[in-house]
Amino acid sequence: MSSLNSLLENYRLEVRRPWLANLAPPQRVWLAIYDPPEERRLRILVQEFELATRSAGKTWVLVDLTDQFGQWMGSHRYREAYFEAPELLPSAIGGFEDHLAARCREQLKGAGPESVVALLGAGSLYGLTQLSTLLDRIAPASEGRLLLFFPGSHEGQIYRLLNARDGLHYLSVPITS
């Protein structure tokens, strides 16, 4: 069995467990951890995660983060200036973080306490924002579970996006292969 199939099986087990209603927002976040080179294969399996969720009697909402920076930058009024002087971009990243959090919270509006909101494309945010910042901003708005597809690794509560040196410390539930 491949590591992604094992990840899917472990997700099936997790989504079928009884959901406690009184958990703190970070504890309602699941990180499905997989090797970064498996990103394309994982994207093919996303529908299987949806089927596993629905067969457990839960609803599914998929939010693809992959092109969010491009959409934000494409609509930004100073985009040409940032292309001409990219060193100015870090001063605008707060606006991107606001855009990203608002987009995710918008998707959460229709999701109830028996919903899984899956976030795909976390690797595309590397170097732009911290995932912990995004999760801290959107987890309180989620009544159900947030499932972050996480290309990277973890040791204890330290998660490394794309296996990078810097890690984020988060109180989520890891789902591994």
pLDDT per position as a tens digit, 117-171: 999 999 999 988 889 889 999 999 999 999 999 999 988 888 889 988 666 667 7
Asked, for residue 115, whether it belongs to a domain, the answer is yes
Range of the domain at 112: 3-15+24-66+92-175
Asked, for residue 53, whether it belongs to a domain, the answer is yes
Residues 6+ apart with CB under 8 A from 55: none
Backbone torsion region of residue 163, taken as left when φ is above 0, otherwise alpha when ψ lies between -120 and 50, otherwise beta: left
Asked, for residue 140, whether it belongs to a domain, the answer is yes
Asked, for residue 86, whether it belongs to a domain, the answer is no
Asked, for residue 76, whether it belongs to a domain, the answer is no
Domain count, the chain: 1
Asked, for residue 85, whether it belongs to a domain, the answer is no
Residue 103, pLDDT > 90, answer yes
Query: How high is the pLDDT of residue 81?
Result: 81
